Amino acid sequence: MKALRVAVAVATVMASSPPVLAASEPPPGAASCSGCHTSGAAAASSVSRLYGRNADEIMTAMTGFRDGSLPATVMNRIAKGFSDDELRAIAAWLAAQK
């Protein structure tokens, strides 16, 4: 029954909307980043733009912030709230954004 509902839901989504929704949905935590890291055109900001950045670079920075090997003001406190898997998902999503 559940499988049927899911199938119907999937069919409905496929029929009525482009696949953009599923493809662009940010993983847990990722939507918060653009409060400080611009999602728009690169602005005159001291905070780096993350959209389109290499995922490995983002991952390396986040794990460095988390274990304290990279200096930070606030990112060390934030990185500690995420597991490797979560960070990988966030990094991949940010890298895929334009």
For residues 24 to 63, the per-residue mask of contacts with another protein, x marking binding by CB under 8 A and - elsewhere, is: xxx-xx-xxxxxxxxxx--x-xxx----------------
Place of tokens 């847990």: 28
| 3-class secondary-structure state, position 83 | coil
Using a 10 angstrom Cβ sphere, with 0-12 exposed, 13-18 middle and 19 or more buried, the burial of residue 45 is: exposed
Tokens found for residue 48: 């780096």
Question: Residue 11 has which token pair?
Answer: 């069919």
Among positions 12, 56, 68, 69, the unique one binding another protein when judged by CB under 8 A: 12
Q: Can you tell me which of 1, 3, 4, 16 binds another protein, judged by CB under 8 A?
A: 16
The residue ranges that bind another protein (CB under 8 A) are 5, 8-9, 12-13, 15-17, 20-21, 24-26, 28-29, 31-40, 43, 45-47, 73-74, 77-82, 86
